[in-house]
């Protein structure tokens, strides 16, 4: 009877060992770390440890910080007793600390974490050549006596840029104006000159209807028109007064170009002067 019992026990021992090896392992609930989210940036390790120790004793606290040594609002807390992890999560999850409601979870192993998204970095697409795309630059020819083409054959025709400022060109005279035989144009006058100063400039001449050109604001343009009594007086004034210095400015006198109505006005002024004599 004893031999039979020992034989059965010997046969059952390997079967029990195989069954124990095939049985699933106990759930990995022996991790003694918890993961805390939603921390205030001003919360320190000591304050978090005292908050957790209201339920279970704390072994270590590690608050995650960034490159600027500022808290990221998350921390890992290690407990002394791994069996109290679920109790801390149940009692303190959602409780406030320093004005923030905490999100406390059991620290998961790396195998339970979701996989990180795979980011594929692709280079920029190569430029397209031809219609609708960019054109390839002309190949560089070093150590070549042939002149290098300045532009590619597919590029548009090159147009020289416009000059920064237009070259001043003297405008052609108005075809509606005619050279007067009685009125002269005085240029480069002092800006303080008035109509009454024309008699001093044209000393020895009879001055009729002196007029200084002004802007809309009433400022002098340095130009005046003076009517003389005859064509001989006009020529004599041009020869004698041209290039004369007036208050540091060299004036220029030439025959004026007037419109038909202005020519009639100067003739009437000369006739009125002759009638008064």
pLDDT bin (cut points 50, 70, 90) of residue 167 is: low
CA distances for 200 relative to 85, 189, 248, 268, angstroms: 112, 13, 15, 24
Q: Residue 70: which residues within 8 A CB-CB, separation 6 or more?
A: 41
Query: What CA–CA distance (Å, rounded) separates 209 from 205?
Result: 13
Residue 12 lies in a domain: no
The answer to whether residue 26 sits within a structural domain is no
pLDDT tens column, 176-210: 888 899 999 999 998 888 888 888 899 889 999 89
Selection from 168, 209, 183, 194 nearest residue 246 by Cα:
194
Q: Does residue 28 fall inside a structural domain?
A: no
Q: What is the pLDDT of residue 31?
A: 73
Q: Which pLDDT does position 173 carry in this prediction?
A: 67
Say if CB 93 and CB 102 are below 8 A apart: yes
**Structural domains in the chain (count):** 2
Report if residue 167 sits inside a domain. no
Backbone angles phi, psi at 269, to 5 degrees: -65, -40
Q: Compute the distance between CA of residue 183 and CA of residue 270 in angstroms, rounded to an integer.
A: 11
Tell me the β-bridge partners of 186. Answer: 224, 253
Residue finishing a domain among 78, 110, 142? 110
Which pTM does this prediction carry? 0.39
Residue at 3 is within a domain: no
Task: Please give the radius of gyration of the chain, using alpha carbons only, rounded to the nearest integer.
Answer: 53
Tokens of 183: 């009125």
For residue 194, tell me if it sits in a domain: yes
Band (pLDDT 50/70/90 cuts) for residue 16 is very low
The CATH number of the domain holding residue 45 is 3.30.70.330
pLDDT band at 158 (very low <50, low <70, confident <90, very high): low
Domain boundary among 79, 95, 110: 110
Decide if 257 is inside a domain.
yes
Domain boundary among 110, 134, 149: 110
> What does the alpha-carbon distance between residue 262 and residue 268 come to, in Å, rounded to a whole number?
10
Longest dimension (CA), the chain: 176
Residue 160 confidence class, pLDDT cut points 50, 70, 90: low
Domain that holds residue 245: 178-276
The pLDDT-based confidence of 169 (bands split at 50, 70, 90) is low
Q: Is residue 44 part of a domain?
A: yes
Of all residues in the chain, what percent carry a pLDDT higher than 90? Answer: 38
Query: Is residue 142 over pLDDT 60?
Result: no
Examine the domain organization and report whether 186 and 100 are in the same domain: no
pLDDT tops 80 at residue 161: no
Query: Same domain for 102 and 189?
Result: no
Contacts of 51 by beta carbon, 8 Å cutoff, 6+ apart: 92, 95, 97
Characterize 224-255 residue by residue with b for buried, 16 or more Cβ atoms within 10 angstroms of its Cβ, and e for exposed: bbbbbbeeebbeebeeebeeeebeeeebebeb
Element (DSSP H or E) covering residue 245: strand 245-246
Q: Work out the end-to-end distance of the chain between its first and last CA atoms, rounded to an integer number of angstroms.
A: 176
The Cα 200–Cα 210 span in angstroms is: 12
If DSSP codes are grouped into helix, strand and coil, which group holds residue 57? Answer: coil
> What are the pLDDT digits (tens) for 32-77?
899 999 999 999 999 999 999 999 999 999 999 988 888 999 999 9
Interval 109-135 mean pLDDT:
63
């Amino acid at each position: 009877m004893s031999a039979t019992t020992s034989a059965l026990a010997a046969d059952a021992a390997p079967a029990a060992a195989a069954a124990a090896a095939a049985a699933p392992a106990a759930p990995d609930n022996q991790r003694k770390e918890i993961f805390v989210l939603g921390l205030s940036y001003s919360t320190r390790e000591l304050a978090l440890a005292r908050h957790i120790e209201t339920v279970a004793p704390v072994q270590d606290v590690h608050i995650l910080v960034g490159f600027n040594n500022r808290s990221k609002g998350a921390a890992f807390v290690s407990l002394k007793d791994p069996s109290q992890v679920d109790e801390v999560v149940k009692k303190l999850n959602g409780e406030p600390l320093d004005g923030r409601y905490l999100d406390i979870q059991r620290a998961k192993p790396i195998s339970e974490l979701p996989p990180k998204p795979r980011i594929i970095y692709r280079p920029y697409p190569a430029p397209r050549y031809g219609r609708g795309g960019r054109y390839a630059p002309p190949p560089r020819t070093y150590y070549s006596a042939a002149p290098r083409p300045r532009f590619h054959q597919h590029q548009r025709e090159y147009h020289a840029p416009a000059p920064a400022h237009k070259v001043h060109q003297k405008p052609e005279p108005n075809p509606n104006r005619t050279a007067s035989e009685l009125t002269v144009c005085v240029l480069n006058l002092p800006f303080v000159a008035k109509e009454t100063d024309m008699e001093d400039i044209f000393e020895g001449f009879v001055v009729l209807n002196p007029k200084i050109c002004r802007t809309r604001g009433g400022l002098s343009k340095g130009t005046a028109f003076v009517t003389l009594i005859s064509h001989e007086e006009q020529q004599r004034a041009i020869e004698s007064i041209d290039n004369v210095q007036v208050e540091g400015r060299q004036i220029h006198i030439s025959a004026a170009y007037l419109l038909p109505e202005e020519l009639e006005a100067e003739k009437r002024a000369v006739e009125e002067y002759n009638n008064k004599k």
